[in-house]
Structure 1
Amino acid sequence: MGLLIFLLILTSSSIQTFASKPEANALLKWKTSLVNRNNPRLSSWALAPDNNLTGTINRNTGATLCTWYGVHCDARGNVEKLKLSASRLNGTLDHFTFSSFSSLTHLELNMNNIFGSIPVEIRYLTKLVFLDLSGNQFSGEIPKEIGMLTGLKTLLLNDNKLDGYISQELGNLGNLVKVNMSVNFLKGSIPSSLGNMTKLSELYLFQNNFSGLIPPEIGKLGSLRMLNLDFNDLSGSIPPSLGNLSSLRVLNAYMNKLSGRIPKELGYMKSLTVLRITHNQLTGPIPASLGNLTKLKELDFHENLLSGVIPPEFGKLESLIQLSFSHNEFSGQIPVSLSNLSTLEQLYLNDNQFDGFLPKELGNLNSLVEMILVKNRLNGSIPDSLGNLSKLEQFVLHDNHFSGYLPETISKCEKLKYLTLSNNSMAGPVPKSVCKLRSLQILDLGNNGFSGPVLQCFGNFSHELIVLDLRLNHFQGNVPQTFLNQSNNLRSLNLNGNRLQGSVPGTLINCRNLEVLDLGNNMLTGAFPLWLDTLPELQVLVLRGNKLNGTFHTSNTKTPFPKLRILDLSSNEFTGILPSKYFTNFKAMTGIDRNTPGALYMGGNLSMYEDTIELVVKGLRLELERILVVYTTIDLSVNKFEGEIPNTIGHLTSLRLLNLSHNSLTGQIPNNLRNLKFLESLDLSSNRLVGEIPLPLASLNFLAVVNFSQNQLQGAIPQGGQFNTFENNSFQGNNGLCGFPLTKSCGDDVPFSHIPEGDEDDDSNFFNGFTWESVAIGYGFGMLFGLGIGWLMFYTGRPRWVIRITDREQSRHGRRSRKRACKRNQLSPITNASFSP
């Protein structure tokens, strides 16, 4: 509204009275240079009059320059301040006559759309105290002439597109109190001359491209209270001189390349409240002197290479709210002295090498809200005293060596939302007191030794519960029948690898948000639950390894399984023909758009849980620790299906694994399987298939595993492409087959098959995404997932999908190898890979 008044006055005839004043002429000149976004011929100030505002202008007496919007004058009528923040100004400063404003002390043009460079003529504003050009589109270098404005106290150039170097001349501004150059593209070293700004209180240089060392001269800034160097490429050691900053309250330097040890001198910064030096390459122990920072509220060193033990002196940090040492190499026990931190709300020690017992004294942390201790070597029982943590919301202890029972006292943590204890060695029944945790969103007890029945109350949790994971335990009895709330939020239900009996409960039809249902490797009986095809969000359905039987009757659902991507019904007793209608309607398997934004993995919005499923390829059990959203699988092996392979499978163009082995299928292999361009594994073994192996299958560039053995196939084995890498055990048990790799020759009168001309080019762009490492992994292990990793490297530009392969006889409690912390300019794998035969 104020801008409209300013613009109306600028365009009124009354301004002519003051046209001789240099400031007025300068503003009019600049006005005419500004451009309206919608009509480049009009000034952005040339707005239509607003009838509600015109009454405020006295047209009879005229308006003085000092009444214009954003213009403030001193007692002599000279323009002293020009405040046009967030005024929709669109243009450059090329036509701004700086020399006309000799009395200007404040220039505030922030939050507009001013572009181009900052003119060197800014040096004429010799009385300038406050300069704010932030939140615009300025580009180019910061002119060294700003160093001539020796009276400047505030310099705000943040949130622009400035690049180039910071000149040493800026060190001449000895009166500066606040400098903000963050969120630009500035590069080079931070000039040592900044150490001359002895009055500086705030220095923000984050989110640029600064490199080199942190200047030790910054240690001369005795008045400095805020120092933020985040998101740059700074390297070298932290200068010990920073310990001289006795007034410093906040030190941020995360996402750089800092190395070396943390200097003990940092313990001298007695005013410090926040110390964040994360995502760097710091090494060695944490100095005990940091225990002297009694005003510290946040101490964060996660994602470094730090080692040693937590100094017991840290128990003196009586003001600490957050302590984060995750993703390092710390060892030893968690010190009992941490129990003195009565104000601590967040304790993050995950992904280290801590061992020993969890101190029972941690039950004294009455303010604790989050305790994240995952991926360590902690052992022993979970102390009963932790039930005293009445404010606890996240209790995350998975991937340790905890044993014993889940304490009954856990029910006192009434605000608990995340309880994850998977991949430990805990045993015994789950106490009924857990039913009192009505706020639970994630309950993950997978891969332990829990026994007894699955508590029926888990079904009643479904209004709040998002994830229920009880896989790989010794639970017995029936699956809970209590999923009756149609407004429930249950997204993932995993009960795989237990001793559950009975049928799949029909009340699951009320779980309309269910994405993952894994009831595999139990003793479930009955027919296939056809009503599952009505669940609109279901993406993963695993019922493998049960005693389910019967045929697939035709479903009446108009669009069954609209989002299903992984279907595993293997190792059951299903009979009849394959469900052709389902194949026709698997829309999520008929095409993928690599450019579609969104999470790469299922459960992308859940920070404390990753969906995990198991697949079997060539007799090996593969555990997918994270499920890539584009991964698609159909496994109907080891059943009693008969009849021909439906042609409709050829429409599932995004399919990656197809296993129909160990059934009683007859007829020929459909030619249109050649449409499965992304297929990595094809197993049709141990059936009664006849005819030839279709020649076009040799054009499937991603095919890493095939098995046609134990059928009645005949003719020449296709040659070329991936078929040249397959061994003879992929074709044995077919007396009519001949050609490489079998020793049986087809004879001169039977030509070898080859890839049809032009087929190689069809996928040339996709195949270019492979690196030699991913191909080597694929061949070295003889598995499809090596090529899957290569595909993902093309898809995302980084190898983030990694799997763990274990033999069926391998211990459930085998620990996966630990990943290394990422560097500033590197993206590390989210999960680890360990392969064992």
Structure 2
Amino acid sequence: MKSLFIILFTLFYSTIHTLASKQEANSLLKWKASLINQHNPLLSSWSLHPAYNLTDTNRITATAPCTWYGVHCNRHSDVIKLNLSNSKLDGTLQKFTFSSLTNLTHLDLKQNNISGPIPVEIQYFTKLVFLDLSRNLLSGKIPQEIGNMNKLIIIRLAHNLLMGPVPGSLGNLSRLETLDVHENVLSGVVPQELGKLEFLTRLSLSHNELTGRIPVSVGNLTKLELLYLNDNRFNNSIPEELGNLKSLVSMLLLVNGLTGPIPDSVGKLRNLEQFVLHDNELPGYFPESVTNCKRLRYLTLGNNSLTGPVPESVCKLRSLEILDLGTNRFTGPIPQCVSHFSPKLQVLDLRLNRFNGSIPATFLKQNNDLRRINMNGNQLKGFIPRSLINCRNLEVLDLGNNILTGGFPHWIDTVPKMQVLVLRGNKLNGPLHASNTKSPFPKLRILDLSSNGFMGRLPVNYFKNFKEMMSGNRSASGDLYMGRHFMYNDRLKLVVKGLHLELQRISVINMIINLSANKFQGEIPDTIGQLTSLRSLNLSHNRLIGEIPTQMRNLTLLESLDLSSNKMTGKIPLQLTSLTSLAVVNFSHNQFHGAIPKGGQFNTFGNDSYQGNSGLCGFPLITGCGDEDRSSSPTLEEDEDSSFFKGLSWESVVMGYGFGMFIGSGIGWVMLYFGSPKWVVRITERKQVRHQRKPRKDHGIARQANHRAWGSQVFDANSFI
């Protein structure tokens, strides 16, 4: 009897699960049919075999949804996981029958093209612990009903188009460890209820439109390791209670409107590695308590309103990799220890402050990983320290707009990875003597020595060795920008195409030489034509003489050329019209003469490009060139005519004229006597018809030329931005 009961129970249990399995299969097939690309090859296994029925359990096992792509079942054939991430799904969740998959614990649909709202029926997934709908096109609000799914541990809804507030009901999810909704359009204030999530380790609300204060209740999340609130519209001060987050490793509050001093309680965060506050409105002094965070790797306080001196205690942060204090109001001398306090330091950004005194003198040879040094826009004096030669990994050195003196630091050309050297706006002087380095500056992309007192001839030896400017348009890694870092972007102030620009990042195709406003003499060397990747060349406001080298026609990527305010002579080479990328030129205030070249981009430049050259003539100047203008750029027809008549004497012309008169008179007498012969009329009519049907190729060429001239004015805006 007992055996019979077991058999009956087994059959009943098997039948119930078979019914449930078929219901789950039909639900999934219904959703598949609603997809725009329901014939997605990845879902080809999603189908019911014709033999699928309720009596043949062997067939059921072979064809149940548990064997389908992305579907995982437990030992009872219940669907418990659905992993269709990056499966090219295109559709919505509106036909998804949530109530038929009540045993589901994991739902992963990230990185597809699922659009529309998140249905409130998602609350029927009462056993769900993992929900990932990130990197889709979901819109609408986050349903309050998600707060009823009290077994959820991980919620990821990032990179969608979700709008509205962050639901306060999420505070009911007592088991939640990860809440990631970054890169949406969420607005309003952050609900205080989130402070009840005592097991939360990751909270990412970044890149939204959230406003108001950072909730004080966030200080209750004592297990929190990552706090990402950056790129929102938070205002008011940073809560003192954040100092309670003893487990915190990373705090990103950058790009908000935060005000008020940085709380001293930050010094309690002994596990903190990333403290990123740049681009806010923070006043006050350097937060000295932060120097107690000995594990700190990234400290970025740039672009705030911090004042006062930077304390020597900053050098206690021996694990620091990035120190960004740029664009503040710090005063006093730079602590001498910052040049060697951390063997891991890669970025030292002190630009646009009010630091005075000298540049720290001791950059050590060993344990030196510095790659970026930016002290632009301070009041630093004295010589450039020779110990910078020990920074063998240095890629960017910007000491521009200070009061530095002395000669050009020629020894810096031995630094093998140097890509950007900016010394503009100082009081440096003397000639640019190259060192004995075999290949100086092989990686250099940007050289700006403008507004100094350098003299002598242009540095031919450097021009011959700028290998990157000869062939480089992409970095070896394929990156579009230099030194891209999650926490830091290079920023440079340059004069490009006559405009003062602050570059927020540096494109790898930026190849710039600016030696303007110095006292360079002599001629422009022919070797300048070898720098075929050059985008901008500014040699203005010097004492250069001689003619423009015709080799500059090889600079096919050149977008900006400024030779103004020199003493250069000769004609502007016609070959420069082949530079189709040229957007800005300035030849003004020299001693050029002759006709201004026509064609290409030269048809787009205005008077300002040529003023102050009394010997120049032709478009766009009012002064015409007469015969000289015509002869300087002869047309094709003129060339053909001149070659045809070349060598004919006046006797030949007279003989031809007389013979023509005789033949013409004879034909006229015949036509008058016999009437118009039909063969003559037929030939004449055929020529007229052919002439009428002949396409006007000259107009088409003109239109194409105009199109090319206009189109060549459009240059890549990303070249310098």
User: Which range, TM-score by smaller chain?
Assistant: 0.7 to 0.9
Change (3 A) 1:492 1:175: closer
Q: Which residue pairs with 2:616 in the alignment?
A: 737
Q: Which residue pairs with 1:823 in the alignment?
A: none
Aligned-partner residue type, residue 672 of structure 1? Q
Q: Which residue pairs with 2:47 in the alignment?
A: 144
Aligned-partner residue type, residue 66 of structure 2? L
Given candidates 543, 546, 560, the residue that maps to 2:426 is 546
Change (3 A) 1:737 1:229: same
Q: Which residue pairs with 2:443 in the alignment?
A: 563
TM-score when normalising by structure 2: 0.80
How far residue 507 of structure 1 moved from its aligned partner, in angstroms, is: 0.4
Change (3 A) 1:265 1:150: farther
Q: Are the counterparts in 2 of residues 641 and 665 from structure 1 also a CA contact under 8 Å?
A: yes
Name the SS of the counterpart of 2:259 in structure 1. Answer: strand
Q: Tell me the alpha carbon deviations over residues 669-696 of structure 1, each in whole angstroms, 9 at most, x when there is no partner.
A: 1101110111111000000000011111
Output aligned runs, 1:241-320, within 5 Å. 241-320=121-200
Q: Which residue pairs with 1:676 in the alignment?
A: 555
Q: Tell me the alpha carbon deviations over residues 187-239 of structure 1, each in whole angstroms, 9 at most, x when there is no partner.
A: xxxxxxx9xx9921110011011111113413432111110001110000001
How far residue 376 of structure 1 moved from its aligned partner, in angstroms, is: 0.8
Whole-angstrom distance in 2 between the partners of 1:702 and 1:754: 21
Output aligned runs, 1:477-556, within 5 Å. 477-556=357-436
Q: Are the counterparts in 2 of residues 721 and 755 from structure 1 also a CA contact under 8 Å?
A: no
Given candidates 705, 717, 720, the residue that maps to 2:596 is 717
Name the SS of the counterpart of 2:716 in structure 1. Answer: helix
Residue 318 of structure 2 is aligned to residue 417 of structure 1 = no
Aligned-partner residue type, residue 244 of structure 1? Y
Report which stretch shifted further, 587-596 or 547-556: 587-596
Higher helix fraction: Structure 1 or Structure 2? 2
Aligned-partner residue type, residue 705 of structure 1? V
Aligned-partner residue type, residue 583 of structure 1? F
Name the SS of the counterpart of 1:461 in structure 2. Answer: coil
Change (3 A) 1:468 1:150: farther
Q: Are the counterparts in 1 of residues 267 and 291 from structure 2 also a CA contact under 8 Å?
A: yes
Aligned-partner residue type, residue 683 of structure 1? D
Change (3 A) 1:170 1:711: farther
Aligned-partner residue type, residue 237 of structure 2? F
How far residue 170 of structure 1 moved from its aligned partner, in angstroms, is: 11
Change (3 A) 1:583 1:150: farther
Residue 520 of structure 2 is aligned to residue 641 of structure 1 = yes
Aligned-partner residue type, residue 630 of structure 2? P
Given candidates 578, 585, 597, the residue that maps to 2:458 is 578
Whole-angstrom distance in 1 between the partners of 2:560 and 2:458: 19
Q: Tell me the alpha carbon deviations over residues 341-389 of structure 1, each in whole angstroms, 9 at most, x when there is no partner.
A: 0000101111111111111111111111001111111111111111111
Change (3 A) 1:313 1:232: same
How far residue 554 of structure 1 moved from its aligned partner, in angstroms, is: 3.9
Name the SS of the counterpart of 1:347 in structure 2. Answer: strand
**What is the aligned-residue RMSD (CA, Å)?**
2.8
Output aligned runs, 1:305-704, within 5 Å. 305-592=185-472, 597-604=477-484, 606-617=485-496, 619-704=498-583
Q: Are the counterparts in 2 of residues 462 and 490 from structure 1 also a CA contact under 8 Å?
A: no
Q: Which residue pairs with 1:176 in the alignment?
A: 66
Change (3 A) 1:704 1:619: closer
How far residue 753 of structure 1 moved from its aligned partner, in angstroms, is: 5.8
Whole-angstrom distance in 2 between the partners of 1:527 and 1:352: 47
Whole-angstrom distance in 2 between the partners of 1:756 and 1:660: 34
Change (3 A) 1:223 1:141: closer
Report which stretch shifted further, 637-646 or 553-562: 553-562
Aligned-partner residue type, residue 557 of structure 2? F
Whole-angstrom distance in 2 between the partners of 1:338 and 1:330: 15
Whole-angstrom distance in 1 between the partners of 2:123 and 2:629: 83
Whole-angstrom distance in 1 between the partners of 2:359 and 2:46: 71
How far residue 697 of structure 1 moved from its aligned partner, in angstroms, is: 1.1
Q: Which residue pairs with 1:209 in the alignment?
A: 88
Q: Tell me the alpha carbon deviations over residues 807-831 of structure 1, each in whole angstroms, 9 at most, x when there is no partner.
A: xxxxxxxxxxxxxxxxxxxxxxxxx
Aligned-partner residue type, residue 70 of structure 2? N
Change (3 A) 1:293 1:398: same
Between the two proteins, the alignment pairs up a number of residues equal to 605
Name the SS of the counterpart of 2:456 in structure 1. Answer: strand
Q: Which residue pairs with 1:228 in the alignment?
A: 108
Q: Are the counterparts in 2 of residues 698 and 755 from structure 1 also a CA contact under 8 Å?
A: no
Residue 715 of structure 2 is aligned to residue 787 of structure 1 = yes
Whole-angstrom distance in 2 between the partners of 1:377 and 1:593: 38
Whole-angstrom distance in 2 between the partners of 1:753 and 1:203: 75
Q: Are the counterparts in 1 of residues 392 and 416 from structure 2 also a CA contact under 8 Å?
A: yes
Q: Are the counterparts in 2 of residues 175 and 199 from structure 1 also a CA contact under 8 Å?
A: no
How far residue 601 of structure 1 moved from its aligned partner, in angstroms, is: 1.0
How far residue 553 of structure 1 moved from its aligned partner, in angstroms, is: 2.0
Aligned-partner residue type, residue 220 of structure 1? S
Aligned-partner residue type, residue 368 of structure 2? N
How far residue 171 of structure 1 moved from its aligned partner, in angstroms, is: 14
Name the SS of the counterpart of 1:607 in structure 2. Answer: coil
Q: Tell me the alpha carbon deviations over residues 548-568 of structure 1, each in whole angstroms, 9 at most, x when there is no partner.
A: 001122421111111111000
Q: Which structure has the larger Rg?
A: 2
Gaps of 5+ in 1: 1-137, 152-168, 183-193, 758-767, 780-785, 793-800, 804-837
Q: Are the counterparts in 2 of residues 565 and 588 from structure 1 also a CA contact under 8 Å?
A: yes
Q: Are the counterparts in 1 of residues 71 and 79 from structure 2 also a CA contact under 8 Å?
A: no
Q: Which residue pairs with 1:199 in the alignment?
A: 78
Change (3 A) 1:198 1:745: farther
TM-score when normalising by structure 1: 0.69
Whole-angstrom distance in 2 between the partners of 1:298 and 1:530: 54
Whole-angstrom distance in 1 between the partners of 2:585 and 2:296: 48
Whole-angstrom distance in 1 between the partners of 2:347 and 2:635: 48
Aligned-partner residue type, residue 299 of structure 2? L
Aligned-partner residue type, residue 144 of structure 1? S
Change (3 A) 1:416 1:140: closer
Name the SS of the counterpart of 2:121 in structure 1. Answer: helix
Whole-angstrom distance in 2 between the partners of 1:706 and 1:732: 12
Aligned-partner residue type, residue 154 of structure 2? V
Q: Are the counterparts in 1 of residues 46 and 68 from structure 2 also a CA contact under 8 Å?
A: no
Whole-angstrom distance in 2 between the partners of 1:714 and 1:487: 58
Whole-angstrom distance in 1 between the partners of 2:474 and 2:394: 24
Q: Are the counterparts in 1 of residues 472 and 533 from structure 2 also a CA contact under 8 Å?
A: yes
Aligned-partner residue type, residue 141 of structure 1? S
